[in-house]
Structure 1
Amino acid sequence: MTNLNGKIALITGGSRSLGRNAAQHLANKGADIIITYVRNEEAAAETVRDLEARGVRAAALQVDLEGSASIASFTEQFKHQLNEWSAERFDILVNNAGITSEHPFGQIPEAELDRLYDTNYKSLVLLTQALEPLINDDGRIITMGTGLTRVTFAPMVVYAGMKAAVETFTRYLAQDLGKRGITVNAVAPGGIDNDFNADRFEKMPQMKGILAENTALGRIGRTEDIGPITAFLASDEAGWITGQRIEASGGFKL
């Protein structure tokens, strides 16, 4: 695929798991990378070192993307980092940051509903709104959806509902920004054996086997299955793909 030399990407939640893998694959293609993290400064610094070892510029910015309180200050931080690199704009936004939660429908606390909305939907919309003027024409926006908007797992009802909103927002945003040549797509992973799901698998160790048995390719997903898809959607070759939900589940419950 076309390299991404000279491009700048921002990946929210890029210090670990799917965000880090996406950063690595974009860096392998030559993009300079800015990641965000919430608390784990050590993991963020390690990710930056890893990316720099791949021959690109990298930086980590701390921000808590639960709601709107930090978005204005983060936008200024981000502009400052771009200026450090003698840039005013960037090219690729990967909206990866998010949280998970599971409750039976009748036991969903209102506070948890608010937290999932603020983090997984509200902040994504408002951050994208704040940063859109800084994205170059013909840029790329990639959001992280989930396979759970196609198949159901009852305890994830609120999480999946928020992700459904994100996937619908993706389609509408693609229509809105198409006039600038900016593509907007969602990647929807299936079950992934990573730290995001570690607590769930610890509580239900049989879940990995169930996922593998119901997947056409015969195994549970891995973090490294998703990063290359994100990198493809950021490439020139994906320039005619927009407004799409790309499920990457290995064929779960076909």
Structure 2
Amino acid sequence: MDRLIDKVALVTGGSRGIGRAIAERLGRDGAVVAVGYAQNEPAATEVVRRITTAGGRAFPVRTELGTHGDAAALWAAFDQGITGYAPDGGVDIIVNNAAIGRSSNLEALTEAEFDRVFAVNVRAPFFIVQQGLKRLRDNGRIVNVSSGVGRIAMPEISAYCATKGALDNFTLNLAKELGPRGITVNSVAPGIVDTDTNAGWLRGNPEAEAYAAGLAALGRIGRPEDIADVVAFLVSDDARWVTGRVIDATGGAAL
């Protein structure tokens, strides 16, 4: 539990799914975890409770992403919550996990939906990092949660795919820019993961479950903990020499 002792981590979208698993894992590793969420306060409170019950430290950070000024609002909420944990208000780890998980196909996509998915999936992480740089300590870690669709074509959700391609490129450029400060920046690209977002079409549907498991070389559907463990490695000192990379965490999908 001491891998991240004295570290402060912000996890956006930390109230459920992959974000929840990441927040809980970093809490177990000793970090003070700011659990970002948009609307589901009970879920975020439960994540904080689980972390603190296990002996960790955490607090909720409520911000609706996808609007102008969202990054400033997030950091203002962070500043309020971090009091008592880190007097300097600093952060060591930023995990950009919050995202809109799907989009309409090319024919059905509207300009409003396009703008919305890019605002949450690309613009928000960009400005969260930009406005967090003064708080981010040297030798810190940034992890952007991307997707396997960065290398696997899925035309039915092409706008979503495009946001993840943009996020991966942001990772590459940010790693170059922040390298002199010892800050590493990487993307983690999950495949199909059994989360609430996918529950509607996946859980309890034998055909869908077989399809999803069959995509992976390892022969099963991903779990949130599979992704959280990869993130835990990237934010640890063990990954100090890894930066600017997209880490495939699809279980070997579409090889």
Task: Please confirm whether the aligned pair reaches a TM-score higher than 0.5, indicating the same fold.
Answer: yes
1:5 matched residue in structure 2: 5
Q: 2: CA distance between counterparts of 1:204 and 1:41? A: 30
TM-score by length of 1: 0.95
1:179 matched residue in structure 2: 180
2:96 matched residue in structure 1: 95
Does the 8 Å CA contact 2:32/2:85 hold for their aligned counterparts? no
1:130 matched residue in structure 2: 131
Does the 8 Å CA contact 1:2/1:236 hold for their aligned counterparts? no
Q: Which deviates the most, 222-231 or 197-206?
A: 197-206
1:221 matched residue in structure 2: 222
Output one character per residue of 1:111-160: Cα deviation in whole Å (capped at 9) or x when no partner.
Answer: 11010011100111011100111011000000000001111122110001
Q: 1: CA distance between counterparts of 2:157 and 2:175? A: 27
Amino acid at match of 1:54: A
Q: 1: CA distance between counterparts of 2:153 and 2:126? A: 25
Tell me how far 1:70 sits from its aligned partner. Answer: 2.7
1:64 matched residue in structure 2: 64
Q: 1: CA distance between counterparts of 2:126 and 2:238? A: 26
Q: 1: CA distance between counterparts of 2:254 and 2:30? A: 36
Does the 8 Å CA contact 1:2/1:235 hold for their aligned counterparts? no
Say if 1:212 and 1:203 are closer, same or farther in 2 by CA, change over 3 A. Answer: closer
Say if 1:214 and 1:77 are closer, same or farther in 2 by CA, change over 3 A. Answer: closer
Q: 2: CA distance between counterparts of 1:126 and 1:4? A: 25
Q: 2: CA distance between counterparts of 1:252 and 1:68? A: 36
Q: 2: CA distance between counterparts of 1:86 and 1:21? A: 23
2:198 matched residue in structure 1: 197
Q: 2: CA distance between counterparts of 1:250 and 1:217? A: 6
2:232 matched residue in structure 1: 231
2:251 matched residue in structure 1: 250
Tell me how far 1:194 sits from its aligned partner. Answer: 1.0
Tell me how far 1:86 sits from its aligned partner. Answer: 3.6
Does the 8 Å CA contact 2:65/2:71 hold for their aligned counterparts? yes
SS, match of residue 253 in structure 2: coil
Q: 2: CA distance between counterparts of 1:86 and 1:93? A: 15
2:37 matched residue in structure 1: 37
Q: 2: CA distance between counterparts of 1:67 and 1:212? A: 36
Amino acid at match of 1:168: N
1:51 matched residue in structure 2: 51
Tell me how far 1:215 sits from its aligned partner. Answer: 1.5
Question: RMSD across aligned C-alpha pairs, in angstroms?
Answer: 1.7
Q: 2: CA distance between counterparts of 1:111 and 1:45? A: 32
Q: 1: CA distance between counterparts of 2:246 and 2:134? A: 24
Q: Which deviates the most, 15-24 or 69-78?
A: 69-78
Q: 1: CA distance between counterparts of 2:231 and 2:174? A: 18
Output one character per residue of 1:192-221: Cα deviation in whole Å (capped at 9) or x when no partner.
Answer: 111121234379863321121222111111
Amino acid at match of 1:209: A
1:163 matched residue in structure 2: 164
TM-score by length of 2: 0.95
Question: Any stretches of 5+ residues in structure 2 without a counterpart?
Answer: none
Runs of 4+ more than 4 Å apart: 202-205
Q: 2: CA distance between counterparts of 1:87 and 1:171? A: 32
Question: Any stretches of 5+ residues in structure 1 without a counterpart?
Answer: none
SS, match of residue 158 in structure 1: helix
1:105 matched residue in structure 2: 106
Amino acid at match of 2:55: G
SS, match of residue 134 in structure 2: helix
Amino acid at match of 1:177: L
Q: Does 1:74 align with 2:47?
A: no
Q: Does 1:142 align with 2:143?
A: yes
Equivalent residues, number: 254
